[in-house]
Structure 1
Amino acid sequence: MSSANLLDAYDYIIVGGGTAGLVVASRLSKDLHATVLVIEAGKDHRDDPLVSTPGLLALLCGNDSYDWKFISTPQSGLNNRALSLARGKGLGGSSAINFMHTVYPTAASIDAWLKLGNPGWSYQDLAPYYQKFGTRHAPTDEIRTITRIKRVDDSLSGYGPIQMSYGQGFGVTNSAWMDAHTSLGLKETNDPISGSITGAFQNAASIHPTTKTRSYAASAYYDSQIRQRSNLTVLTEAIVTVKAQREVILAAGTIQSPQILEVSGVGGSKLLDALGIDVILDIPGVGENSQDHAQVCQSYEVKDGIPSIDMFRDQELVGAAIAQYRINGDGPLGTNASKSKKILLDEFVADSSERNVILKELLVEAGAPALSYVTFPGQINTDIKDLTNFSNYTAPAKPENYFTILNALGHPFSRGTCHITSQNIDIPPTIDPGYFKHPVDLEILSRSVMFAEKLMATEPLSSAILAQPNGKRLPETIPSTLEKAKHIVEERVISNMHLCGTCPMMPREDGGVVNNRLLVYGTRNLRIVDASVFPLIPVGNIMTTVYAVAEKAADLIKEDQK
C-alpha cells in the first residue's frame, strides 16, 4: 500500500512487521471497528522462493535483501572475534530466514519469569498460547520409523495458523543419531511440547505438510483472507508520520526496539545526555540484559554415500533436487534436515544475585536440560577469517562431505548490551553480546564439546556415518582434555541468532523496561512485544516463545481497552 493512502490516525500502530508484530496485527484487526497500521522497514517476501523453500535457508542469512546483517563488537571471550548477528529484514522478520526449528521451552525456564516478579507469566499461564499459534501435524509411519519418533501427544499439537510438520531429514543420519543416544541411555522421555525436554528427539519444523513451504509469520498471520481486512494496513519500505489513537506497539526486535527507544529519548539518561538527546524517560535498563545461546560447531567427515548438503557443489545434483521439489515438495529442499536433543548438567556455579540464583536452580532442576544439541547435514566452517557474514559459515569450503553437531548453552549466565552511538536511527547500534563474561558459560560449553566427541564415537553413529578410520574434522583439534575443549570453544563459537532480553519484563528497580502488561514504565500506551522483553532466555530455539508471547500480548491489549 502507498503511504499516500494512509489515514491521519490509527487505533493501533505496530512498529515492525516481524514474527511478533504480525501476530498482534492479525489478532487486533479481527475487531473490524479497530484500525491497525503495521510499519515494516523491509520488503514483502511472501512470493519469494528463497524464503518459501526450506532447503534454501542457507542463502538467506548474510543476504542484504533478507538480513539486516548486524555485527557484534569484538568479543574478548572469543579471542576478539566479531560475529554475524543475522536478523530478518522484511515481513515476518526472523521467522522468514531462520532454520524453522519449532523447539519448545521447558516449564522451568518460563516459570523463572514469574520468579523475577512478573505475575501472570508462569508456564501454566503461557502454555495455552503455545497451542494457539501453531498446528503440529503428526508424522507418518514411515517418518516415525526413519527418525525414531516415539512420543507425540496429539492433545498438545495446537490449532493455530503456523503449520508444523516432520520431514524424513537425511535418512541414516537421523536414525543413527537417535540410536546412539539410546545406547548412552539418553532416551526421549516426553513429547518435546510438554514442557519437559530431555534426551534426544526429532523436532518438528515450521514447514507446511502439504505444500512443503516455510510457514512463518507473513504467510500464516497475513494470509490472503487477513489481507482483505479493510481495517488492517501493512506498509513496507516506508517512513511515515502518523498518530496512534490508542496504542503504539513496538515490535522491532531485540536490536532495533531498544535502538528506537533510545533515539526517541527513552533510556539511560547518562547515555542520552552524552548524545544530546532529550530525556523523555530515564530507564537505564533499555539495551541491557542481552542474552544469547552461544553455540560451537563440530563437523565430521562422513563416508561415501551418506547424504550431506555439501554434495550440492555438484550442479547436476542441485538440478535434480530442484526438479524433485517442484514435482511433489519432497527431497532435500523440502526439509530443514535438523534434529535436536537436550541433556542434563550436574555441575553449577554458586552466585548470590537473584537472577543467577534462579539460573542456578534451572541448571540443577531435575528433568531440566542445561545444554542443547542440534545436528546439521553439512559442514559449518568457523575457521575462516571473516565471521561477520553468516553465509560464510555454511559455504562448503572443504571438498569433503560433513555432518555437524551444534552445541549450545541452555541457560547462559553472561549478559551483554545493545546501545546507540548516535541520534541517527540509520546508524546501527553497538551490539556486545558479552559471550563468556561469566566464566561458568565457558566451563559448561567446553564440557558439551567433550560430550559431543563421546557421542560421535558411539555406535551406531560412529560406524554408520563417519569416514573411517581417519576422517577429517573441523576443527582438527580433538577435545581430549578440558583445556583443548576450551580452546575449541573460544575459537569456534558463533551466535545462535537467539538474542533477546534488551527491554526486559522485570520490576523497574531490577533493570526492567516493561511491566507484566508489557507497557513501558512511565507510559500508558506504549508496549513492547518481541523477544527483547524476555527477562531470561528460555532453553532451546526462541521462535515458539516469541509467537506465544505475541499471542498473549494481543489478549492483554484487548483486555486493557475494555
Structure 2
Amino acid sequence: MSVSNAGDLSSFASTIMLPFQPATVFHKVDVEINWITQEGQGTSGPIQASFQGTIQDPLSKAWTKTLREVGYCLTGDPFSGSATGGFSSPITVDPTSKTRSYAGSAYFLPANKTGSFCSGGIGSYAFMPMTDFATESGEEELRELFKKYPAENKDMERYNLLRTIFEDPKESTGSAFMFLAQTFTQNLDPHNFVSLGISLLHPLSRGSVHIASADATQPPIIDPKYLSNELDVEFMSRHLRFMETIAESQPLASFIKPGGKRNHEMAHVKDLEAAKDYVRTTTISNNHPACSCPMMPRDKGGVVDAQLLVYGTANLRIVDASVMPLIPRGNIQSSVYAVAERAADLIKEDHHIQK
C-alpha cells in the first residue's frame, strides 16, 4: 500500500536581535487575520482556537508585512483552499484557560479550566506559489523538469493531477513558516534563534506500508521514501531559496543579527545547487502521515468506500488521515476531525440513532 509523504520540511535558523519595546496598537491587518469573519469562524464548538502570542509578537507583524513587501500579500481566506500569501494562523489553544484544546480534552477528558499556559509552535505562515516558474522561460523550465522525471504508470493519475497544480501560477505548492526556536540540531546554541522553513504541500514521492507478519501484534514495514521523486528536490529547493529573499527583506531583516550564526554549516542557500544539497541533507517529515488507505475506487487502489467501509467487509471502518486520497495543503488536524465527525454520523445512521 502506498502512502503520501506528509509534506517534507526543511528550514534554517538564524540568530535574532530581540526587541524590548512596549506593545503597539493592534490592527487585524498588521498580522493578516483580517480574513476572519463571524460567519467563517462560528460562535461555538468543542474545539477552541486562538492567536496566542501573535498580537503581542513583533515578529508576527514583521512576517506578514515582509511577505507583502516581496509581493505576497494574503489574497483571501487561507482556509478556503485557494489563497496565497502570508498570514497568522490560529492554534488550538483555549483563549480563556490558555490550555491545549483537542479531541481528547473536548470529548473524553473532564472539563478543566485550569492548567499550564501553553502556546503553539508555529503561527506565522505563507502559502507560496512557485516563483521560479512565473515567467515564460520559467514555464519552459518546468515543462522540461516534468519531461525529465516522468510518472510511473501506476501513479499516472495522481501525478497528472498534481502537475496541474504546479503549472498554475496562482496555486500554492509550498508552505513557508517562521517560529522562535532552533531546528535540526543536536547541540543547541545558547543564542536566540528564529527559524524560517518551507514545507512541500504536494510531494510527488510516495512511500509504502506493508504487513510484516500474520501476527497482528507485529508492526508493519513502513518506508516513507522521502525525496525519492527528484521533482520534490527540485521544487523544494526553489522554495527554500526564496526563504533567503524573505530573510533579507524588511522589516523582518531588521530582527536578524547582521553576520549572525546559522544553525547548520550548509544553511546559506544562495544558489540552486546549494539549496538542493541542503534539502537532501536536512529535510525531515512534517509528521502528518496520510493516504495509505485512500477513499477511492477499489480498482484504482482504494481501500475504503464513501461510507468509510473497507472494501470486502460489512462493518469495518477506517477513520483517520489514511483515507484521504491526497494530502490537504494545510495541517491535517481539522480534516481528521471532519472525517471523525462524518464517521460518527454514519454509525448513527446505521443504528438509527438521531443525530
In the superposition, the TM-score normalised over structure 2's length comes to 0.79
Mean Cα displacement is larger for which, 484-493 or 183-192?
A: 183-192
**2:186 is equivalent to residue 380 of structure 1:** no
Aligned to 2:293: 503
Seen in structure 2, the aligned counterparts of structure 1 residues 337 and 494 have a Cα distance that, compared at 3 Å, is closer
Aligned to 1:399: 190
Aligned to 1:157: 41
The AA in structure 2 aligned to 1:157 is Q
Contact 2:92 2:101 in 1 (8 A): yes
Q: Percent identity of the aligned residues?
A: 40
Contact 1:164 1:208 in 2 (8 A): yes
Distance 2:278 2:27 in 1: 35
Contact 2:32 2:86 in 1 (8 A): no
Contact 1:201 1:340 in 2 (8 A): yes
2:65 alignment partner, one of 179, 188, 195: 179
Gaps of 5+ in 2: 9-24, 134-141
Contact 2:93 2:100 in 1 (8 A): yes
1:208 alignment partner, one of 94, 113, 125: 94
Structure 1 residue 171, shift from structure 2 partner: 1.4
> Residue 206 of structure 2 aligns to a residue in which SS?
coil
Contact 1:344 1:368 in 2 (8 A): yes
Structure 1 residue 560, shift from structure 2 partner: 4.0
The AA in structure 1 aligned to 2:220 is P
Distance 1:153 1:522 in 2: 44
Aligned to 1:517: 307
Contact 1:143 1:168 in 2 (8 A): no
In the superposition, the TM-score normalised over structure 1's length comes to 0.51
**2:260 is equivalent to residue 471 of structure 1:** yes
Contact 1:518 1:527 in 2 (8 A): yes
Aligned to 2:219: 428
The AA in structure 1 aligned to 2:232 is D
Structure 1 residue 223, shift from structure 2 partner: 4.7
The AA in structure 1 aligned to 2:63 is W
**2:245 is equivalent to residue 460 of structure 1:** no
Distance 2:171 2:107 in 1: 32
Aligned to 1:220: 106
The AA in structure 1 aligned to 2:67 is H
The AA in structure 1 aligned to 2:241 is M
Contact 2:93 2:99 in 1 (8 A): yes
Aligned length, in residue pairs: 306
Deviations 1:224-280 (A, max 9, x none): 48xxxxxxxxxxxxxxxxxxxxxxxxxxxxxxxxxxxxxxxxxxxxxxxxxxxxxxx
Distance 2:176 2:328 in 1: 15
**2:134 is equivalent to residue 344 of structure 1:** no
Structure 1 residue 146, shift from structure 2 partner: 5.8
Structure 1 residue 541, shift from structure 2 partner: 1.0
Map 1:260-339 → 2, pairs under 5 A: 329=117, 333-339=118-124
Aligned to 1:362: 165
Distance 2:83 2:30 in 1: 21
Aligned to 1:440: 231
Distance 1:143 1:403 in 2: 24
Contact 1:505 1:516 in 2 (8 A): yes
Distance 2:210 2:178 in 1: 33
Deviations 1:431-476 (A, max 9, x none): 211111211111010111100011101111112x1111x1111223
Distance 1:366 1:449 in 2: 17
Structure 1 residue 151, shift from structure 2 partner: 1.8
Distance 2:219 2:316 in 1: 23
Aligned to 1:168: 53
Aligned to 2:274: 484
- Runs of 4 or more consecutive aligned structure 1 residues displaced over 6 Å after TM superposition: none
> Residue 195 of structure 2 aligns to a residue in which SS?
strand
Seen in structure 2, the aligned counterparts of structure 1 residues 143 and 165 have a Cα distance that, compared at 3 Å, is farther
Aligned to 1:259: none
Distance 1:544 1:372 in 2: 17
Map 1:181-196 → 2, pairs under 5 A: 181-196=67-82
Deviations 1:510-558 (A, max 9, x none): 1111112111111111111101111111112111111111112222333
Tell me the C-alpha RMSD between the 2 structures.
2.4
Distance 1:474 1:534 in 2: 35
Contact 1:164 1:207 in 2 (8 A): yes
> Residue 450 of structure 1 aligns to a residue in which SS?
helix
Distance 2:261 2:122 in 1: 22
Distance 1:528 1:422 in 2: 20
Structure 1 residue 337, shift from structure 2 partner: 5.0
